[in-house]
Amino acid sequence: MTQRLHLVFGGELADPSKNVFKNVDDLHIVGIFPNYASAYDAWKHEAQRTVDNAHMRYFIAHLHKLRDEESAASPTEELG
């Protein structure tokens, strides 16, 4: 069975009209979630919690899209 992992993270943007973080050392990693629905709920919670700060943004990254599920091992797994 294929896993569809999702990372929820966010932080303060340098400019609210662009997706460039002010300081990547200060990123807030909310967590990794097993499906989009739970990732969306976590994203929504954090986005609503910080709604008063126009520079704060949260994102959902589809971790499963970073892997080539057709091959036995992805390029990063071959490094070990």
* CATH assignment of the domain containing 35: 3.30.70.2400
| Cα-trace Rg, the chain | 15
Partners of 61 in the β-ladder: 7
Determine the structural domain holding residue 34 and report its residue range: 6-79
pLDDT band of 80, cuts 50, 70, 90: very low
Position 13 in a domain:
yes
The verdict on residue 55 lying in a domain is yes
- CA–CA distance, 80 with 77 (Å, rounded to integer): 6
Number of domains in the chain: 1
Q: Is 57 within the bounds of a domain?
A: yes
Is residue 56 a part of any domain in this protein?
yes
CB 30 within 8 Å of CB 48: no
What confidence tens digit (pLDDT) does each residue in 7-51 have?
A: 999 999 999 999 999 999 999 999 999 999 999 999 999 999 999
Higher pLDDT, 67 or 10: 10
In this model, does residue 78 exceed pLDDT 60? no
Query: Is 1 part of any domain?
Result: no
